[in-house]
Amino acid sequence: MSALTILEDKMIFFARVNKAFLFGWAFVVVCGCGSSEDGVIAKQNIVHQGDTQGTTYVIKYHGADSVDQRIIEEVLEQVDVEFNLWRPDSRINAVNAFKSDQTVFSFEDSNRLWSVLWDKCLEMHSASKGAFDPTVHPLVELWGFGLKNMTSVAREDVERILPHVGMTTDRIDLDEVEEGRIYQRTHVRKGDRETSVDFNAIAQGLTVDLLGDALVEHGVADYMVEVGGEVKCMGVRNDGQPWRIAIDRPVDSAWGERPLQVVVNVQDAAICTSGNYRKFHEVDGVKRSHTISPFTGYPVTHALLSVTIKAVDASTADALATACMVWGPVRGRSFIKEYRDNHPEEAIEAYFISAAENATHVYWVTEGWDQALLPEDQL
């Protein structure tokens, strides 16, 4: 869903995004020298990169020592084993397969990731008035990955599933059991046995945040973490300049070609993009995107092509971008304005690109970015 490109030292890392989860391999590239002739330890430019979650990741930072690659892989594996819908042994598949409304699904070894993500999802679901909704999962399954089942979906199918969609405690709920303020286990209760969840619209943002936390825990202050185009940048680059992130132009270009729309300096913030322009089907002249509305049960048909959100953390930016793609260009703008007013501490900025007549585009940018975005020809 993302459309972001990371630029630094004239190197471009393309984020080829697929919200399906597949865990892959990784390797580390270390550039520079760890010591100098006068005995002063020099900062190295360090890169970890590889495949994860059906896409790629890139981690860049500078320091005297590199973080052990195993630490990176542990974070990726933790998210994967909990939330990977494409992994048969994942926790989320076990939760979704649980069909009892009389007992609870209990687990003790989740590292409390479920509670962290669940609380964030509840927050974003409430703030977006339901536009961000992980319980859209059965509708996503109905339409198929990439809308592959589009021609076979009947109105009766949608109407049958819609009553099971909605992130309310009477459908599905989660809580933690503690004894003496010590965590013991997590319980998932299903009031509706047909309700299921899909965290793909926020899990990459969560992964970015967790990777950033791991770097900080090991002494890294200046870093850029990118997973599938979702990015978080803290501090500055080794040359003292802010990290530079490019927003892709919303065109369905050939594979490997990523024309850039604008560039923004990012420091101590996350930036995430959701877009429909590479993933849609056209039926009777109407374009239907891969974004499924939890309100109607159908793929959205509005003109909004992509939304880029800046926030203090990637989980928030990822979820807000998804909510905007559900709302569309008009209600999405109203939603972001209201959210900014209610959460000034999160320093939210937004960049909307919508389709217009004659294959042109129209743009809407929050005032904080209005002068900060650099056009592509200023790279």
- Give 281-311 as a DSSP string: EEETTEEEESPBPTTTSSB--SSEEEEEEEE
Query: Contact at 8 Å (CB) between 130 and 295?
Result: yes
C-alpha to C-alpha distance for 364 and 334, rounded to whole angstroms: 11
Nearest to residue 272, comparing CAs of 231, 224, 304, 220? Answer: 231
Percentage of the chain surpassing pLDDT 70? 80
Helix (H, G, I), strand (E, B) or coil at 376: helix
Between CA 303 and CA 245 the distance in angstroms is 24
Report residue 198 CA to chain centroid gap.
12
Output the DSSP codes for 2-26: --EEEEETTEEEE-----S--EEEE
Q: Is the pLDDT of residue 28 over 60?
A: no
Per-residue pLDDT, averaged over 333-356, amounts to 95
- Report d(CA 245, CA 271) in Å as an integer: 8
At 142 the three-state DSSP class reads helix
Q: Do residues 319 and 336 make contact, with C-beta atoms less than 8 angstroms apart?
A: no
Fold (CATH) for 88-190 = T-fold (1.10.3980)
Of the ranges 55-64, 161-170, 286-295, which is most confident?
161-170
- Which range of 20-29, 52-61, 208-217 scores highest in mean pLDDT? It is 208-217
CA-to-CA distance for 139 and 145, rounded, in angstroms? 11
Query: Which has the closest alpha carbon to 24: 48, 59, 50?
Result: 50
Q: How far is CA 257 from CA 95, 248, 344, 362, in A?
A: 39, 10, 37, 22
Mean of pLDDT values over 311-329: 97
Tell me what the mean pLDDT of segment 298-326 comes to. Answer: 95
pLDDT in tens, 246-260: 887 776 554 555 667
Locate the domains of the chain by residue range.
88-190
pLDDT at 308: 95
Average pLDDT, integer, range 194-205? 96
pLDDT at 189 exceeding the cut of 90: yes
Q: Distance (Å, rounded) from C-alpha 308 to C-alpha 317?
A: 8
Q: How many helices (H) and strands (E) does the chain have?
A: 9, 19
Most confident of 66-75, 147-156, 172-181, 295-304: 66-75
Return the exposure string of 292-310: e unless at least 16 CB atoms fall within 10 Å of the residue's CB, then b: bbbbebbbbbbbbbbbbbb
Q: Are 239 and 7 in contact (CB under 8 A)?
A: no
Please, what is the average pLDDT of the chain?
84
**pLDDT band per the 50, 70, 90 thresholds, residue 322:** very high
Q: Give the distance, in angstroms, between the CA of residue 21 and the centroid of all CA atoms in the same chain.
A: 12
Bridge partners (DSSP) of residue 265 are: 244
**CB burial readout 1-24, b (16+ within 10 A) else e:** bbbbbbebeeeebebebbbebebe
pLDDT exceeds cutoff 90 at 24: no
Model confidence, pTM: 0.86
Q: Is the pLDDT of residue 48 over 60?
A: yes
Q: pLDDT category, 370, cuts 50, 70, 90? A: confident
